[in-house]
Amino acid sequence: MSSYSSSARFDEARRVAIFGGTHGNEMSGVTLVNLWVKNGSEIQRKMVDTKPFITNPRAVEKCTRYVDTDLNRAFTPENLSALGEGDLPYEVQRAQEINRIFGPKGSPEAYDVIFDLHNTTSNMGCTLILESSKDYFNLQMMNYIKKAIDPASCLVLLNEHPLLKYSTSRSVAKHPVGLEVGPQPQGVLRSNIFEAMRVILKHALDFIELFNEGVEFPTCTVEVFRVLERIDYPRDANGNIIAMVHPNLQDGDWEPLNPGDPMFLTFDGKTLHYQGSGTIYPTFINEAAYYEKQQAFVTTRRETLVASAIRKA
Amino acid sequence: MPYRARFGRKMECVSLPPLSNFAICGGTHGNELTGVYILREMQKHNVEKVGSVSITTVLSNPRAVDACRRYTDRDLNRCFTDDLLSSPITESTPYELRRAQELNAHLGPKGSEEAVDLLCDMHNTTSNMGLCIIFNSADWLILHICKYLQSKITSMPVRALQMDLPLSEAFSVDSLGKHGFSFEIGPQPHGVLRADVFNTMKEAVDLTIEWLQQFNSGRTFEGGEVEAYTRWKTVHYPRDPTTDEITAAIHPQLQDNDFKLLQPGDPIFLSLSGETVKHEGDALYPVFVNECAYYEQKIAYHLTQKSTLTLPSINVKKD
């Protein structure tokens, strides 16, 4: 039964970018984008211009997360309009350059979709990161991907939290999509992780092609995990970590954490328990890059979002 | 002086001098966090003497630890060859070469009577190696420690890995001690601290101290056999001939299968375009499979041979 009158209309998604190396030591994205820059046939689709792009080449060259400052936090309005050019931190200059090429952020000229490829040391499996619960185009894409890879799983993390949300490189686009696949150590390329990311992108591009051909995607529901809060390691007065993620919680991304469950283990063997008021779903557990950001894991709650039917305008 | 282990014949009990000082190093690579945190805890609790053993804790590379990087100028754990330890220091000498000479003065000098009796260096690897005790020559003392740890630790496999270089060419910090070895525990990503890995490293260090005390107090440790893996050859990643870029990943069937016998015909690499590369030559045991730090030299893994070493009983030489 068609529902033309109630479909949300979106412009054709003609301009699509795939970002790798936003963090220079997250190797799946670096490798995939380098591969596609040389030979992009795998990512070509009818009526779509797909541009693979290394966002932080200096960090990639040094195989480090960033050179001066985290590129994936750099796309703030202040940074994007900052003056000073060569005196600005490298990643702020890069953010301005990326905004020129793929934006401007928030304008009609901005790219339609940007996929930003990341890895994590956390045991998150394949995760799609969504920045707005109202982005029905993205929700429909994520629903399509989840069904396409079934029985393999791909979860959706929604970060719409006003304080914890951050200005990502992909936020330049109208429809930003984060792909986070783990566990993989920084600086390491694991074949299974690489292939998993490749398959997700294949389905994502298939969706865009179908959408551009005029296919209507009927209303759907998508289960998401909504970011609630960031939990730091217990620290002493000098800021040193005094406990580790508890072995029961380690690698337990997306598993329920109930009040009273073990959360941290001190160096002399004492267990610290989760003191929250209800069950939450932890993720980004023990991500290497987050020690400096004061984060041992984030808490989420499960929600079901509804996406209206969509079709091309 | 090293006592070479021999095959086969029943050996008489060997008496060795007591081991009164033990140095424990961590942070030789600044992003291998287990050792850094074990040291921090030992220093917090002022661990200086346990029974007959006096203990020195050393943070090998403080600058790299602060930056949470493997090294600042060059790999500290390659700076302890005789040549590098005796090279003149100038203003332009890399930080790690200077630091190596400082450590040599503090814990060595390498090869001398003043050197610390036993040195243990704590490391992590991204490879699935469990607990690996790495040493240069098959010294009976170290092999007995291996045997002891193997009998007590159940949380992960415990294996012995031998490098077998002449002392002058031994390049790692543990070569400073009269007897030296490293604990290498993985898998753990660099820059991450896992509780299970921390607990096993702590247990290994505590058991080593326990062994030393028992040895010094006169216990005879019965001889027997220890399996050891000896480094045989290094395998590099396939590379593009013009750009030298790596063109394949460790094959999923080899990934995480350190110490599992690799036979001719077994898959080793999966190229980015989907082709499988297979192992050729002798059946050998791979180690350090997909270690992050080895990408710099394009090393995919090392291959080792397994052998069984026979140990005599040992006890402390009484005056």
One domain, residues A282 and A213: no
Where do the structural domains in chain B lie, given as residue ranges? Answer: 14-227+311-316, 235-308
Question: Model ipTM?
Answer: 0.95
Q: Is B59 on the interface with A (CB under 8 A)?
A: no
* Residue bearing tokens 């917090």: B44
**What is the residue-level pLDDT of chain A in tens, covering all 313 positions?**
454 557 899 999 999 999 999 999 999 999 999 999 999 999 999 989 999 999 999 999 999 999 999 999 999 999 999 999 889 999 999 999 999 999 999 999 999 999 999 999 999 999 999 999 999 999 999 999 999 999 999 999 999 988 877 899 999 999 999 999 999 999 999 999 999 999 999 999 999 999 999 999 999 999 999 999 999 999 999 999 999 999 999 999 999 999 999 999 999 999 999 999 999 999 999 999 998 889 999 999 999 999 999 999 9
Domain with A60, as residue range(s), is: 8-224+307-312
Asked if residue A39 belongs to a domain, the reply is yes
- Residue with the bigger pLDDT between B2 and A231: it is A231
Residues A155 and A292 in one domain: no
Catalytic hit among B96, B102, B114, B184: B184
Positions of A marked active-site: 180
- Top residue of B33, B40, B291, B292 to mutate, by most chain A CBs within 10 Å, is B292
In B, minimum Cα distance to A269 occurs at: B199
Are residues A30 and A178 located together in one domain of the fold? yes
pLDDT at position A185 is 98
Query: Domain for residue A3, yes or no?
Result: no
Write the burial class of residue A210 (CB in 10 Å: 0-12 exposed, 13-18 middle, 19+ buried): middle
Pair (A291, A215) in one structural domain:
no
Residue B100 clears pLDDT 50, i.e. is over it = yes
Q: How far apart are CA B206 and CA B109, in angstroms?
A: 26
Residues A52 and A190 in one domain: yes
Q: Which residues contact A56 (CB under 8 A, 6 or more apart)?
A: A21, A22, A23, A24, A66, A67, A71, A91, A94
| Site from B193, B256, B276 to mutate, A interface, most A CB atoms within 10 angstroms | B193
Q: What is the CATH number of the domain that holds A177?
A: 3.40.630.10
Selection from A42, A51, A41, A43 nearest residue A112 by Cα: A51
Q: How far is CA A138 from each of CA A9, A129, A179, rounded to the nearest angstrom?
A: 13, 10, 12
Residue B10: the pLDDT is 63
Contact B31, B195 (CB under 8 A): no
CB contact under 8 A, A185 and B126: yes
Put simply, the chain B residues between 119 and 148 with a CB less than 8 A from any chain A CB are 126
Of B41, B252, B295, the CB nearest to A192: B252
B279 assigned binding-site residue = no
Q: Are A140 and A217 in contact (CB under 8 A)?
A: yes
Nearest CB to B191 within list A34, A184, A288: A288
Does A35 reside within a domain?
A: yes
The 10 Å CB-count burial string (b at 16+, else e) for A175-196 is: bbbbbbbbbbbbbbbbbebbbb
Is the model more confident about B86 or about B167? B86
Q: Helical H runs in chain B?
A: 33-44, 62-67, 82-85, 95-107, 140-152, 195-216
Regarding whether A295 and A146 lie in a shared domain, the answer is no
Asked if B48 is an interface residue toward chain A (Cβ–Cβ < 8 A), one would say no
What span, in angstroms and rounded, lies between the C-alpha atoms of A64 and B184?
23
Q: How many CB pairs under 8 A join A and B?
A: 78
CATH code of residue A277: 2.20.25.160
Q: Cα–Cα distance between A120 and A155 in angstroms, integer?
A: 14
| A162 and A41 assigned to the same domain | yes
Do A30 and A72 belong together in one domain? yes
Question: Do A284 and A141 fall within a single domain?
Answer: no
Q: Is any Cβ of chain B less than 8 angstroms from the Cβ of A240?
A: yes
Q: Is B62 on the interface with A (CB under 8 A)?
A: no
Q: How far apart are CA B165 and CA B174, in angstroms?
A: 13
Q: Answer yes or no: is B123 a known binding residue.
A: yes
Annotated binding-site residue? B32: yes
What is the domain count for chain A?
2
Q: Do A12 and A156 share a domain, yes or no?
A: yes
| Rounded-to-integer distance, Cα A126 and Cα A157, Å | 10
Q: Please provide residue B120's backbone torsions phi and psi, each rounded to the nearest 5 degrees.
A: -125, 130
Same domain, A291 and A257: yes
pTM comes to 0.95
Is there a domain that residue A2 lies in?
no
My answer on whether A23 and A133 are in the same domain is yes
**What's the pLDDT tens digit per position in B227-254?**
999 999 999 999 999 988 999 999 999 9
Q: What is B14-227+311-316's CATH number, 3.40.30.10, 3.30.930.10, 3.40.630.10, 3.40.50.2300?
A: 3.40.630.10
Selection from B135, B142, B122, B133 nearest residue B211 by Cα: B142
Burial class (CB in 10 A: 0-12, 13-18, 19+), B165: middle
Architecture of B235-308 per CATH?
Answer: Single Sheet (2.20)
Mutate: best of A267, A284, A292, partner B, most B CBs <10 A: A267
pLDDT digit string (tens) for B250-270? 999 999 999 999 999 999 999
A37 interface with B at CB cutoff 8 Å: no
